[in-house]
Structure 1
Amino acid sequence: MNPQRSGSISGPLGLPPEPEPADSTHSGADDLMQTAQALFLLMAMATWAKHKKILREALALQSVLATLVRDDGLKNKPLSEDASWEEWIRAETIKRTKFIVFCFFNLHCIVYNIPSLILSSELKMTLPCSAAEFKAPTAAKWREVRKRVPPEPDFQIAFHRLFSRGARNTTGWNSSLGNYALIHALIQHIFFVRQITRCRCDGDGDLSPDDVSALEQALRNWQLGWKRNPESSLDPMDPNGPVAFNSTALLRLAYIRLNIDIGPGRALDTRDPIQIANSFRESRAIKRTPKLVRAVLHSAHALSIPVKIGIRLVARTQTFVWSIQHSLCSLECAFLLSKWLEALSLPHPEPEVSDDERRICSLVKTMLDETEFAVRSDLPLESPVTLKQLSASVLRVWARIFKGAQTWAIVDVIGTSLNIYADMLETGESLTRGIH
């Protein structure tokens, strides 16, 4: 037995010891990344657990995991032309592990408002390969696929290309996992731009028109790249995997985050439904703008899908087709649409309600009429009572879906929180009981 292998967990914090400089078998580096993969799985499982103590442990693993990934390096060395299939598998697996860790850290940022410990500017690797290439069962099949697909672009080049306004610079396509990493990088970019904007003393916290325009261009270019990828599909059961489908949820979330400042947090880390509902209730009012209409429309379309399929059916089957990304995006959609309807219900709303806003209100009411949460039809659509009922009903539809069969405990907590928030809207009161 190799003594270095047998002692691979004898280093500080139980981590692998430093590989010896003369080591040419990659055993030390392999141990490092295998440990990172194991820690990642522990963190991923604990992140969505119901108990706050387990969540704390998951977040505590972040710094150790980030250190392991950095120790191995956020750059990938180009393989030689005559590299074997086995050498390529090892290099590609390590690269994909690092990108997935980057994306998961970003999910922590989305949900818990914790800045990612790995920044997109640090990634100096080529994007992951296509699903067909990675899943090739033999060396011969792998070589055959590699002849058909273009080489993976460098992450930094692909990311900066998203902000280009010249169509010539945005041609080509990236792999499904590559697109997934890029949409996470755009969401991270939006997060940090908003952090900077909040610190400005000469503004109201809104993004500048130039920032919004640049990010809208980047999101449009990302969509074009997603469509160009022959492996992209809206079917979560696609043979190439659900990554492309999950990316579309993050695109919707990116549009919402671009057009509305969600704020510093929604108390999801407390795992207390009443505290979460109170944080929803106490969040600042929506500022209605023409730009916001697009994000609201995205939220309305997100609601239309489960309504058309059937709320009860989606509630029973979501665990088989929805990722945690779709649940988190649906929460953002429910929150935005409800807050927007609440803003419209104010007496003499400013600015005046536009034709586009009226059409969205009518669309939402028509959708809800097909559910058990339909609102009264004896009042005008624009009456404050009707709009408040619409706001609460939107929350109840999503709550019913979240309370159905699901894999992650946090989804059930979110469903309970949305129901409590809907109660608050209907009674006009906040709750303080049961907070712990």
Structure 2
Amino acid sequence: MASSLYFTAERVLASIDFERLQAVPELLDDWERPRNSPPPDQGPLVLAQTRFILVFFASFSGEPRLIRQALVGCGHLSADFRSRMARAKPGSMSLNLSQWHLWVEHESIKRLMCCCMVLGNLLVIAYGIVPGFAALEECNIEMPAEDELWDATSASKWRSSLQRRLPSSPLGLRQATAWIFGNNTQEERLDASWTWSPFAASIVMHQVAIVVWFFAHGKEACYGTTQRYRESDQSDAKRIEAALSRCRDLLTETRDGNDGTWSEADGPLLFNAFAVLRVSYGRAFINFRALDRSLLFQESSQDMLVILQRYFDAAQERDGYMTIAVDCALEGFAIPIRAGVLLTQKTAALKWSVEHALAGWDCAFLVTKWVHTVECLQSSSGQTTPEETKVLDNVRYLLSQIDVDRSPSCSLAADLARVWAGLYDDTWVWGVAPRMSWVLRELAKLYEGEASDIERQQQT
């Protein structure tokens, strides 16, 4: 049914786009001077919202041809994002937002733009696509309003909620991100009356992940792996680690402010926010450039195996910050164990969002490769740090809490990858999930093969 609805909606949207294209003057007509004509119709907001839903569905359908079509649709989203950006900047609105219907339209625009940013970050995780929105000016949109205002079902309830709020100045996403990174020279002190809703906190976590992505790739492009890069790496790593710790504190305070528990409405958003934060740790401290993320939209399993082999063969660097990142990412594996693996397998399709599934898959690559490297080092009497040994012991403990058939070579990384893969088998809501499961099982075979080779060498 989902497929039928998707293709029907795509045909309707394509016909609307074609009709609007017919109204465009001939190409290159009067191209030498700007036209003195009114700006083009932006189109109704509901059209942009519909396009976003279709692109989001296709992006994670697991069907390579639909994924490529979704990437084309991202161009439409990006153009629409920029055309509406002026209306979403902090304090830039000239409209009178004292009327409920005008406020709802304004807030809907902001939330659509926030969702486009989320999609951009998820496309980085899944396919390695460069984020479609820059980390600074283009993301300086006003933070989403408090959920109490957004959830109001009538103008009277909205006004009542508005009157209970403390007056505060508009807060931009760029300003919130600057606070996370401790950029005190460029940002004013945040208004003490500002409180972030779980949705707003989740959006900030995605923005932080995008900033970390730009920082890591830009730094490598400038310095490569030269001595100058290594000399500056420690100070930069400390700053990013401090920023990510601030993110963790922010999310923890959001939970503690609700008596240490999450409400049914807030829980999924904060659950996802923690998952995205784990992705940021991996981007900041783990060299993921060895992983060709196009593997999920490859149509040939042989092409996917070649990509996996290259990732497996790449050297795994180790340092204290990487150990911190792995320890943080391992929390994503501990959650379903605490909840019950079988229960998680049967309910993930209904309770997990695709962003949590993608974040977990991202962490699985990070953790299993690191575990395999450290485990092989210990097997060959290599030297590991106490912190690395502690993390490896935690992996053993977590696996001991579930009924799992150990691999013949007793490879912790292989066991971990297979258990993680099992969490995606029944997640049928998103077609990309079974592909992620297959990839993790193939990766487990590679870990197992090398562990067996080391074991045979030790016996001879």
1:114-263 correspondence to structure 2 within 5 Å: 114-121=129-136, 122-150=138-166, 151=168, 152-164=170-182, 169=189, 172-199=194-221, 200-201=223-224, 203=226, 208-229=233-254, 238-240=264-266, 242-263=268-289
Partner amino acid for 2:164? R
Verify: 1:282 aligned to 2:313, yes or no: no
Q: What SS class does the counterpart of residue 119 from structure 1 fall into?
A: coil
What is aligned with 2:402? 371
Partner amino acid for 1:361? L
Q: Does the aligned pair in 2 maintain the 1:33–1:72 contact within 8 Å?
A: no
- Partners of 2:377 and 2:245 in 1: CA distance: 36
Q: Does the aligned pair in 1 maintain the 2:377–2:383 contact within 8 Å?
A: no
What is aligned with 2:434? 412
259-268 or 288-297: which moved more? 259-268
What is aligned with 2:127? 112
From 44, 53, 63, the counterpart of 1:41? 53
1:74 deviates by 4.4
Q: Does the aligned pair in 2 maintain the 1:123–1:155 contact within 8 Å?
A: yes
1:75 deviates by 4.2
Q: What SS class does the counterpart of residue 376 from structure 2 fall into?
A: coil
331-340 or 225-234: which moved more? 225-234
- Identity over aligned pairs, percent: 20
What is the TM-score with the length of structure 1 in the denominator?
A: 0.83
Question: Which structure 2 residue ranges, 5 or more long, are not aligned?
Answer: 1-15, 25-34, 452-460
Q: Does the aligned pair in 2 maintain the 1:32–1:68 contact within 8 Å?
A: no
Compute the RMSD of aligned alpha carbons.
3.4
What is aligned with 2:100? 85
In structure 2, the CA distance between the partners of 1:368 and 1:229, relative to structure 1 (3 Å rule), is closer
- Partners of 1:317 and 1:258 in 2: CA distance: 31
Q: Does the aligned pair in 1 maintain the 2:96–2:102 contact within 8 Å?
A: no
In structure 2, the CA distance between the partners of 1:243 and 1:92, relative to structure 1 (3 Å rule), is same
1:228 deviates by 4.1
Partner amino acid for 2:51? L
Deviation track 1:166-191 (CA, whole Å, cap 9, x = no partner) reads: 7x946643222322222122111121
Matched residue pairs, number? Answer: 407
- Partners of 1:11 and 1:419 in 2: CA distance: 47
1:210 deviates by 2.7
Q: Which has the higher helix share?
A: 2
Q: What SS class does the counterpart of residue 19 from structure 2 fall into?
A: coil
Q: What SS class does the counterpart of residue 399 from structure 2 fall into?
A: helix
Q: Does the aligned pair in 2 maintain the 1:259–1:292 contact within 8 Å?
A: yes
What is aligned with 1:434? none
Partner amino acid for 2:141? M
- Partners of 1:211 and 1:256 in 2: CA distance: 15
Q: Does the aligned pair in 2 maintain the 1:299–1:333 contact within 8 Å?
A: yes
Partner amino acid for 1:62? C
Verify: 1:269 aligned to 2:297, yes or no: yes
Deviation track 1:366-416 (CA, whole Å, cap 9, x = no partner) reads: 221233325489xxxxxxx54xx1010000101111112431011111111
Verify: 1:334 aligned to 2:359, yes or no: no
Q: Does the aligned pair in 2 maintain the 1:74–1:124 contact within 8 Å?
A: no
154-163 or 237-246: which moved more? 237-246
Verify: 1:54 aligned to 2:66, yes or no: yes
